Structure 1
Amino acid sequence: MQGKFLVIEGLEGAGKSTAMAECETQLAARNIPFIKVREPGGTPLAEQLRLLVKAEHSESIAPETELLLMYAARAQLLHNVVRPALAEGKWVLSDRHDWSSQAYQGGGRGLSEKTLGALAEIVLKDLKPDLILYLDIDPAQGLARARGRGELDRIEQEALSFFERTRAQYQKLAAAADNAVTIDAGAELAVVTGSIRQALTEFLTRSC
Structure 2
Amino acid sequence: MRAKQALTIAGGLAVIGWPFAVWLAISYPKLHILLPILALCFVLRLCVLRGKTGALSRAFKGLAWAGAVLSLASIWMREAQLLLWYPVVVNAVMLTLFGSSLFTTMSLIERLARWREGDLPPAGVRYTRRVTQVWCLFFIFNGSVALWTCLAGNIHWWTLWNGMVSYLFMGMLFAAEWLVRVRVKRRYE
TM surpasses 0.5: no
Larger Rg: 2
Normalising by structure 2, we get a TM-score of: 0.31
Normalising by structure 1, we get a TM-score of: 0.29
Higher strand share: 1
